A and B are shown apart, each in its own frame.
Chain A
Amino acid sequence: MTAVMPHLPALQIVVPLLGAILAGFLRRGPTAFAVALAVSWLMPFIAGALLWQVLGGGSISYRLGGWQPPYGIEYRVDVFNAFVLMLVSVIGAVTMPYARRSVAFEIDEGRQAWFYCMYLLCLTGLLGITITGDAFNAFVFLEVSALATYVLIAAGRDRRALLASYQYLIMGTIGATFYVIGVGLLWVVTGSLNFVDVSARLAEAATVQPRPVITALAFLTVGVSLKLALFPLHSWLPNAYAYAPSFATTFLAATATKVAVYLLIRLYFSVFGPTLNFQKLPVSELIIGLSIAAMFAASFIAIFQTNLKRMLAYSSVAQIGYITLGIGIANKAGLTGSIVHLANHAVMKAALFLALGAVFYRIGSVKLHDLSGIGPKMPLTMAAFVVAGFGIIGTPGTVGFISKWYLAVGALNEVGWPLVLVIMASSLLAVIYIGRVVEVAWFRDPSPTCIGASDPPLSMLIPLLVLTAATIWFGIDTQWTAGIAGKAAGMLVGGLK
């Protein structure tokens, strides 16, 4: 065990990468699934060990290839990214058992092994972005996860999945290009790619040559915002989530945008630093404005969707608005709200998408009118949908309330009470779009499509119920979510670390 401990940061990436290669070799769906399951269940142990180490004190630095930073690539784990690593790992581990039947139902026999291969590559990329301390290495992992994501989305049964994937390919490529232009500009003014090193040199560079630094900030902001689907750069997201296979949608909705948000927070608070960002430039006002627009516009559009996966996708755009709102508020409470909402939104949105995936598995549709009266037929699934839906609304006792509480406290200290009212008002829109589904599912006569429906098999039901239970559990016991998020926020706001 002592021989393995120092290499955990590398293993976090190498294990899923080797798993992806193995899945690509095996070529058979069930065996590839077994590999994906084994890797997914190993990940939380590695991430947990890393989190435990950094909570004990200090950050972990791992030299890839033995080269000393800032010359070589450095993997750097602190409380913040250990928390995100844990989040991605746990979501992968909990949802993976669900994949077997769902993927077998939605994807052709011959393509299943490739699907798991791509899932593992996507996992590698997402964990890589989170763990690396090198700006260009983050770009490489951004591309690894994005390319895998394009394939995952295109694997959807619906032919429109191809178009959705192509749309995301174009937008994602623009995002990645902008990111790399930003990194290039930073490299020109500081001569370094290592986040810590760049941040140490940037203060001086910004006074000597402010223009390239501001341009780099602009490019990085737009590039990463495209990836995290910040309104109005979200246009790729609704179709991608609506037409991707159920499992892919669940995994991506819970992790991919969250990791992009992580990258934005890392760049804003660890690299550029609060002084440049929030005191000299109107970044805060810009982000808060766009976040509020996302919270209202996307929620409003969600109300009129008939395809429920599309509805939840717009809801995701709105929820990302809450996360970025905390970044704009930029004090400790606000940022805690942001970071804790990464986890909270991942848990409840994964539960909602798993519930819809179960519905699709039984009746082959996620159209609102096909779901009429499905509640009594699939009681556990739809009960889980209702509970996770309460989380999205932000009812006390669910995780959604915790996030909004921290955001409201942060808003009250920094901006004032009108923003608190805005947060509450936007929650009312969520009441409408979630309430509409609850009304149709539970209080209407059964539609002909769902006469024979029943709760899905246990392998699909248990992940759904675990995530639903987590929606309640972390809404009451916030030691692990808000506690660690608070530590991370304190570290980020505290200074350049």
Chain B
Amino acid sequence: MSLDLILRIGTKLILPFILLFALYVQFHGDYGPGGGFQAGVIAGGMVILIGITFGLGTAKRIAPQVMVERMVPLGVLIYAGTGVAGLLLGKNFLDYGVLGHDPVHARELGILLVELGVLITVSGTMTALFYAFVERGR
């Protein structure tokens, strides 16, 4: 274990920036390239990096299996829930123009929620896939 000192310290240093970059990609999706899918992959990649460097146990302490498996449907629920919110407020499904005080802000809020759902599902799925592969044959 002592031989990979640089790897472990390096990983520890880089981790917060990976997460920050994921959030940047997520929230800057309105103005530049990015969005929930890309951010979800980066956030999932962070957990995978922890798993590779520190072992599966550490990764699972940060992102427990149960949580990861619940994140997959949770994201879809947020996405679909945003659509249903429009439905409940008397508009068509996924018409979230009524979620705010004026249509422009409402649509911005709506797409933000939808992308949040995508982030949660994608990062959960990436991590769950990694866990499933690592645990094969154990």
User: Which A residues are closer than 8 A to B by beta carbons?
Assistant: 3, 7, 10, 14, 17-18, 20-21, 24-25, 62-66, 117
Contact = CB atoms under 8 A, between A and B. Distances in A.
A473 B93 CA distance: 38
A64 B73 contact: no
B92 A21 contact: no
A20 B95 CA distance: 22
A24 B72 contact: yes
Contacts of B93: 7, 10, 14, 64-65
B84 A18 contact: yes
A400 B134 CA distance: 51
B94 interface: yes
26 contacts: A3-B90, A7-B87, A7-B92, A7-B93, A10-B93, A14-B80, A14-B83, A14-B84, A17-B80, A18-B77, A18-B84, A21-B73, A21-B76, A21-B77, A25-B73, A25-B74, A62-B92, A64-B92, A64-B93, A65-B93, A66-B86, A66-B91, A66-B92, A66-B94, A66-B95, A117-B73
Nearest to A17: B80
Nearest to B73: A24
Contact of B92 (A3, A10, A18, A20): A10
Q: Shortest 3 CB-CB distances between A and B: which pairs?
A: A66-B95, A10-B93, A24-B73
Nearest to B72: A24
Interface string B67-86: 00010111011001001101
* Category for how many chain B residues contact A: 10 to 19
Contacts of A18: 77, 80, 84
A62 B84 CA distance: 15
B95 A65 contact: yes
Nearest to B83: A14
Contacts of B91: 66
B102 to A, nearest CB: 15
Contacts, number: 47
Contacts of B97: 66
A390 B72 CA distance: 46
- Dominant secondary structure at the A interface: helix
Contacts of B83: 14
Given A17-B76, A24-B73, A64-B93, 4 more contacts: A7-B87, A10-B87, A14-B80, A21-B77
A17 B92 CA distance: 16
B65 to A, nearest CB: 12
Contacts of B84: 14, 18
Nearest to B76: A21
A62 B86 CA distance: 14
B121 to A, nearest CB: 10
B69 to A, nearest CB: 8
A183 to B, nearest CB: 21
Contacts of A66: 86, 91-92, 94-95, 97
B92 to A, nearest CB: 5
B127 to A, nearest CB: 16
B1 to A, nearest CB: 34
B72 to A, nearest CB: 7
A148 to B, nearest CB: 13
A90 to B, nearest CB: 24
Given A7-B87, A14-B87, A64 B80 contact: no
Nearest to A117: B73
Given A7-B87, A10-B87, A14-B87, A21 B80 contact: yes
Nearest to B66: A27
B37 to A, nearest CB: 14
Contacts of A62: 92
A3 B89 CA distance: 11
Contacts of B76: 17, 21
A464 B87 CA distance: 38
A117 B77 CA distance: 13
Contacts of B74: 25
Nearest to B93: A10
Contacts of A63: 92, 95
B7 to A, nearest CB: 36
A321 B34 CA distance: 47
A12 to B, nearest CB: 10
Contacts of A10: 87, 92-93
Nearest to B90: A3
A491 B42 CA distance: 50
A68 to B, nearest CB: 11
A314 to B, nearest CB: 35
Interface string B88-115: 0011111111000000000000000000
A64 B96 CA distance: 11
A3 B70 CA distance: 33
A65 B92 contact: yes
Nearest to A63: B92
A253 to B, nearest CB: 28
B74 to A, nearest CB: 8
